[in-house]
Chain A
Amino acid sequence: MGRRIRELRMEKGLRQAELAEILGISASYLNLIEHDRRRIGTELKSAVAVALGIEENALAAEVDGPLVDRLLSSASSVSNAAELDRVAEFTVRYPGWARHVAMQAERIALLEGRVQELSDRMTYDPTLAASLHEVISTATAIRSTASILNGEEPLDADWQARFHKNIYTDAVRLADSSDALISYLEAPEEGEVANSPVQEAEEYLLGRGFYLAELEDGSSTPADLVGSAGLSSSASSILADFAKQYVQDAARLPMVAFEKTALSGRYDIANLVAELSLPAVLVARRLASLPNGEGHPPIGLITADAAGVLSVSKHLAGVVFPRSGACPLWPLYTSLGQPGRAVRAVVALPGAPETRISCFAISQQIAGGLGDAPQMRAIMLMMVDVSPEQDAVQQIGPTCRICPREGCSARREPTVIKTVTQKRAAL
């Protein structure tokens, strides 16, 4: 409860001394309460609730930081900033409704993206344009040929035979190209909303914990894995690339031995890279593929290109890493500015200030050479930091729009929620 009181106090923009004065207690006593070193009596608990403007039972509950972030990022239609200040309270009082609202907002965003994607497809999708051109050209050929055969002017037998054959071959082509076009435009099952191919592949891999036992022991090939996964053709292509890389990694660093090494190295990638004399990106991928349920800590691995677009990534549970508009202070993006040089940082998000996330990021050139634009890829390994050493924590945000941090030089747009300064000014 103490931590909850501290979170709510900070949300309201109150200093410890200010709240203590309202409550009629000393600031040092309030500090002990907030760090759970003193129990809080019934009467004082009621006074705290009144001072913070919340229901008393809201004090006892833990705030789901990631859920708050999800709701704030969806709050584009909420014009009353005071309501946005009460999002945390909403999640505590009505957790089921809060999750439902967040889920619906995400579904709407996905559908809107899908609509935009489909409307852009006709204009910008070269594969679709070529397929349509094939269908229309074949239909035109059939129409022109049939018109000649059906015309009033007589045709000699050779021309008749020639044109009949043309119609036959074009009809077969039209059937094939129509079938290919339909497959390309294959709609999802009724009631489902298709994720992007990357998300579809990620969901499959997440269900496997990013650990593919059959590729580790060589009992299956990437083609077998993709064939049995039952994904769409685009997602299958992405999964195939992932699986091929996985097989290469498993050959260089077999999991059976690596598990022991990772444990003894305390999962510290810098130590493991030094010990194994292997590239950091390889060790990072192996760490992210450690099998669940074997006592290994949760490990996330984000992969992005030079434009910051995420490819198949293993998100760390409880950490909202948006696919677009993420905080530019993440080490992932810092590493793109210094290829080949590792960027390490312990970060914290506003929604979960007590949770420290240890990050290791590095970028490298994966393609391109003299005369060609270099193709960069960055990876960022993420683990919850539980070390007793209190390294300096870098404060980062979820996304600028819902980030309360003030004075951030990396801010791209104003935030929709009140900062601490704004809250104090309103008191």
Chain B
Amino acid sequence: MGKRVLLIEDEPNIIEAISFVLSRDGYTVHTHEDGETAMTKLASSQPDMVILDVMLPGRSGFDILRDIRDGVQTTDLPVLMLTAKGQAKDRELALRLGANHFITKPFSNREVRDHVREVLGE
């Protein structure tokens, strides 16, 4: 079984496309669409990396990022944030809260795959 990636994103077809690309690259991909219960999913899936959208139903990606950094078990968990182009304040906040990196929508599959490879190795 490959390294585990948890994708927290509410857009179903983004989930399907990114899951397909990363799975084909050998990673085990878990997905979750709701911000409110994302931390529960994180605890159960124990990923090696998280890809986290900013705008989620229930709780924002920033709140989830804070919880990840505050958690003893997850404080160093690599997090890649997905932000919207043009929202400079989102990017600044993401880095300030401890995101390892961010990519802006609309992104290419290659960008996602390259970042994941960089963090988890091929």
Contact = CB atoms under 8 A, between A and B. Distances in A.
B55 A133 contact: yes
Given A122-B86, A130-B55, A132-B84, A140 B106 contact: yes
Contacts of B12: 141
Nearest to A146: B17
Contact of A147 (B11, B24, B89, B108): B108
Given A145-B13, A148-B17, A169-B13, A136 B109 contact: no
A147 B20 CA distance: 12
A133 B61 CA distance: 13
Interface in B70-93: 84-87, 89
Contacts, number: 62
Contact of B17 (A123, A129, A133, A144): A144
Contact of A144 (B87, B89, B109): B109
B94 to A, nearest CB: 15
Contacts of A140: 11, 14, 105-107
Contacts of B11: 137-138, 140-141
Interface centre among A133, A140, A163 (most CB of B within 10 A): A140
A132 B55 CA distance: 11
Interface of A is mostly: helix
B85 A136 contact: yes
Given A130-B55, A136-B84, A141 B24 contact: no
A159 interface: yes
A144 B85 contact: no
A230 to B, nearest CB: 33
A148 B107 CA distance: 13
Interface string A104-135: 00000000000000000011000001101100
Interface of B: 11-14, 16-18, 20-21, 24, 55, 84-87, 89, 105-110
